[in-house]
Amino acid sequence: MPHFTTERRVRHSADEMFSLVADVERYPEFVPLCEKLVVRGRQKEGEREILVADMTVAYKLIRESFTSRVVLDRPALAIRVDYLSGPFHHLKNDWTFVAVSEEASIIRFAIDYEFRSRMLSVLMGSVFDKAFRKFAEAFEERADAVYGVGAV
The secondary structure element, H or E, covering residue 118 is: helix 118-147
Q: What's the pLDDT at 32?
A: 86
Cα–Cα dist 97/77, whole Å? 5
pLDDT in tens, 99-152: 999 999 999 999 888 887 777 676 666 666 676 777 778 898 999 999 987 554
pLDDT in tens, 24-64: 999 999 998 899 999 999 999 999 999 999 999 888 888 88
Does residue 152 lie in a domain region? no
Q: How many C-beta neighbours within 10 Å does residue 124 have?
A: 19
Domain span holding position 110: 3-147
Q: How many C-beta neighbours within 10 Å does residue 24 have?
A: 20
Does residue 27 lie in a domain region? yes
pTM for the model: 0.89
pLDDT in tens, 83-94: 999 988 899 999
CATH of residue 79 = 3.30.530.20
Count of structural domains, the chain: 1
Does residue 38 lie in a domain region? yes
Query: For the chain, how long is the longest CA-to-CA vector?
Result: 46
